[in-house]
Amino acid sequence: MPSQRPLPGRIQPAPEGFLDARQIEAVRKGRRGFLKRAFAAAGGAMAGAAAAQGAFKGESEILELPEHSRGLGQPVAARAYGLPSQFEKGLQRRESPGLTRVSAASVSFAPLQGMFGIITPSGLHFERHHQGWWDIDPARHRLMVMGMVKEARVYTMDDLMRLPSISRMHFIECGANTGMEWGNVAVPTVQYSHGMISCCEYTGVRLSTLLDHCGYDRKNGKFVLAEGADGSSMTRTIPMDRALDDVMVAYAMNGEMLRPENGYPLRLVVPGVQGVSWVKYLRRIEVGDEEWATKDEAVHYIDLMPDGRHRQYTSIQECKSVVTSPSGGQTLLDKGYYNVTGLAWSGRGKVKRVDVSFDGGRNWRTARLEGPVLSKCLTRFNIDWTWDGRPAVIQSRAIDDTGYVQPKINQLRAVRGTRSIYHNNAIQSWKVSETGEVGNVQVF
């Protein structure tokens, strides 16, 4: 298994990661001439392919066809369940060493710097476990709905999968995402600064369907408690109006059953709300008339304020965005055009607009949003940029359809102080040096 240490060299800078040392040298010396040579040798399809293969080897090999253009490749279903290319091994979720005492109660971050579009491949979905993950036998798993209901029920997976089903795309973000940036700690890459977010298509049953089925107390049932089956017995309170709105008891993610690390066979999906409420290994739903003040909402996952008090029951992930490429740890190989890309999201609805600045916030241009733009879902943005070789500071600023504008870090600190862990949705700044190196800086 690859090292978990965040050595910048190990973190794949996309897209520059596709160039080997000789190519990087060729690029630095000026691509135009190099491309002309490559093409001059190409008189047609075969020679073209040959040039493609031989461009860096010298004339003698120019006309040699690569093996994949001559031989017979691997058969279908060589792997019953497919895997990424051997050349993509560098792109993986990584733990931040020392973040927690044991890796069973830790985090692995999604490699946003090398990801595309809005769908997170399930194999790269970020992880946050409180007592490790399990692969629970779905034939033995049950969900109990109890408390202030007419008839308490225990559901098998088969019961749940026979009920009316819905599919929705939503982002999930840990409340602690970008938490290190509250102080002056600038982690090196976007994987560690923003990698506790993922976005998937979920399929399951509306929680309201189960609450109706059990006849919940419409007069006094003001809250719902969700409890997980793992050793941490994660428990979270959810207001009834939210529970009846768009909360889902999900069994599937990205077209297949949930992954074990993400709560297989059952997890709660609470769109727009911090990940801790998306209870994994969901085994119990209780209806009650007041908040439960469980350990995970009264002591943990609270926001420490400047005056020493703390906020409880904060949950919505406010509008936020980040440029994923170029980003910390990557290098711009030469001047000229770049497609600058990133992600934007809001726990309150749709992303309305994303502006990008290349001079630390003095001037802003509006980015292109890729479709579909969905509520409480990631939105991919792209914007053209021609780098003139001088130092630059790249920032993105998202605005959602409520009109809320993503704040600067100092604006957020003025209200929240610097000792918080959770709910940092400040504008991120990436500094580009004259040599093309990109680093994480805080701009006020």
Could you say whether residue 128 binds a second copy (CB under 8 A)?
Answer: yes
Under DSSP, is residue 126 helix (H, G, I), strand (E, B) or coil?
coil
Q: Both tokens of residue 258?
A: 């949930």
CB 438 within 8 A of CB 428: no
Q: Which of residues 49-78 bind a second copy (CB under 8 A)?
A: 49, 51-53, 55, 66, 68-78
Alpha-carbon distance of 90 to 401, in angstroms, equals: 37
Of 359, 364, 274, 357, the residue nearest 323 (C-alpha): 357
Q: Which amino acid is at 166?
A: I
What stretches of 163-263 adopt beta strand conformation (E)?
166-173, 197-206, 223-228, 235-239, 248-253, 256-257
Q: How far is the CB of 184 from a second copy (least distance, A)?
A: 26
Q: Both tokens of residue 339?
A: 């497609």
Choosing from 131, 208, 331, 411, the residue that interacts with a second copy (CB under 8 A) is 131
Of the pair 34, 404, the CB lying nearest a second copy is at 34
Alpha-carbon distance of 281 to 140, in angstroms, equals: 12
Choosing from 62, 63, 161, 305, the residue that interacts with a second copy (CB under 8 A) is 161
Could you say whether residue 7 binds a second copy (CB under 8 A)?
Answer: no
C-alpha angle 72-75-78 in degrees, rounded to nearest 5: 140
Q: Which of residues 238-277 bind a second copy (CB under 8 A)?
A: 252, 254-261, 264-265
Half-sphere exposure of 437 (CA within 13 A, CB side): 8
Of the pair 333, 405, the CB lying nearest a second copy is at 333
CB contact burial 261-287 (16+ within 10 A = b; e otherwise): bbbbbbbbbbbbbbbbbbbbbbbbbbb
Of 249, 221, 270, 277, the residue nearest 164 (C-alpha): 249
Q: How far is the CB of 315 from a second copy (least distance, A)?
A: 22
Q: Which of residues 21-40 bind a second copy (CB under 8 A)?
A: 23, 27, 31, 35, 38-39
Name the one range near a second copy by CB under 8 A: 140-148, 214-222, 346-354, 403-411: 140-148
Q: How far is the CB of 321 from a second copy (least distance, A)?
A: 16
Choosing from 9, 59, 101, 140, the residue that interacts with a second copy (CB under 8 A) is 140
Choosing from 8, 62, 63, 201, the residue that interacts with a second copy (CB under 8 A) is 201
Q: How far is the CB of 175 from a second copy (least distance, A)?
A: 17
Of the pair 107, 399, the CB lying nearest a second copy is at 107
Name the one range near a second copy by CB under 8 A: 97-105, 268-276, 347-355, 431-439: 97-105
Could you say whether residue 91 binds a second copy (CB under 8 A)?
Answer: yes
Supply the DSSP symbol for 399: E
Q: Using the Cα atoms of residue 282, residue 288, residue 291 and residue 295 in order, give the sign of their dihedral.
A: negative
The label of the residue with tokens 């000026």 reads 30
Alpha-carbon distance of 123 to 101, in angstroms, equals: 24
Alpha-carbon distance of 345 to 200, in angstroms, equals: 13
Quick note: the x/- pattern for a second copy over 357-396, rule CB under 8 A, is -------------xxx-x-----x-x-x------------
Of the pair 256, 359, the CB lying nearest a second copy is at 256
Q: Which of residues 208-237 bind a second copy (CB under 8 A)?
A: 227, 229-231, 233
Quick note: the x/- pattern for a second copy over 299-338, rule CB under 8 A, is ----------------------------------x---xx
Could you say whether residue 164 binds a second copy (CB under 8 A)?
Answer: yes
Choosing from 8, 16, 360, 405, the residue that interacts with a second copy (CB under 8 A) is 16
